[in-house]
Amino acid sequence: MRKRPPSIDGLAASTLQLPRGTWSTVLDCLCERFPAVARAQWLERMARGRVVDGAGEWVAPDTPYRVGLEVHYYREVADESLIPFDEVILHADADVLVADKPHFLPVTPAGAHVHETLLGRLIRRTGNHALAPLHRIDRETAGLVLFSTNPDSRARYQALFRERRIEKDYEAIAPAFPGSAFPCVRTSRMVAGEPFFRTQEVEGPPNSETRIDVVARGELRWCYALTPITGRKHQLRVHMAALGAPIVNDALYPSLSHRAAGDYSAPLQLLAKRLSFVDPISGVRRSFSSHRQLLG
């Protein structure tokens, strides 16, 4: 059985099975498949053992190309910026870990964020390379994320999400909406939008559902309690915007607005506040709450 290469500094390897082609070396194939990565970068990664084959052997610049060869490589971003906010570990045991994530920190590597992720930080802190997130929240959203710490029990906790046996409660700050009755339920059909990283509502049978209530009422802004019944991409943000009360500092909904890289002055006012479930192993009901507060 082939063994996956270990994570390095909390970063798991990406995998490419070499396709059919006429390249003479693995290096030539990688350069053509990933034109955004300069040849010099591949050479530098190879020199540090950051490109290996399925047997764990280093791939060298002159390693011959072979159709079907499994190549593992570690993504890197030059001059990746430090995200200046800290996560908090609220709970950790033999099966799960609960982290309280700050705004702006992605859960897993994506785009320009490779080293600075919640997963990477937690692996480096705990030394547990088997850590895996059981669900995701947006980079812009703060709050609770549940991780599996044990591959042997992971499937039982994953089933909680698949079978909707876990309660996730969010809080959001958004404009007052006195013309609507609360609590209410928002349902809609959500599909991929334009640009590709957005989601939009369309006509058709609903595939998303959110319960919405009001926690506190201010003069111009209210604090809302949001409970997603389904888990569509950006569901809470889309539903609040469609309701007419877009979440404060949302740069995607209802319309796009530009935010400069490294600008942390206006965090999205959305917080994954609580997680609650019956533990599939012990049978005990477990509840966790974020210690973070939104800006009222």
* Mean pLDDT, 10 residues at a time, the chain of 296 residues: 68 89 96 91 92 92 95 82 95 98 92 84 92 95 98 97 96 92 96 93 97 96 97 97 96 91 93 98 97 90
Peptide bond into 64 cis (omega under 30): no
Whole-Å CA distances, 97 to 123, 127, 128, 147, 278: 11, 13, 11, 5, 15
Please report whether residue 97 resides in a domain.
yes
Nearest C-alpha neighbor of 46 from the set 20, 21, 71, 68: 71
215 phi, psi to nearest 5 deg:
-90, -45
Q: What phi, psi does 219 have (nearest 5°)?
A: -70, -45
Same domain, 116 and 93: yes
| Residue 167 DSSP class | E
Q: What values do phi and psi take at 46, rounded to 5?
A: -60, -40
pLDDT (0 to 100) of residue 6: 73
Residues 55 and 102 in one domain: no
Which CATH number goes with the domain that contains 52?
3.10.290.10
What is the predicted pLDDT for the residue at 259? 83
Domain span holding position 246: 88-289
Q: Are 115 and 158 in a shared domain?
A: yes
217 with 130, same domain?
Answer: yes
Phi and psi torsions of 289, nearest 5°: -130, 140
Cα–Cα distance, 118 to 279 (Å, whole number): 23
pLDDT of residue 73: 92
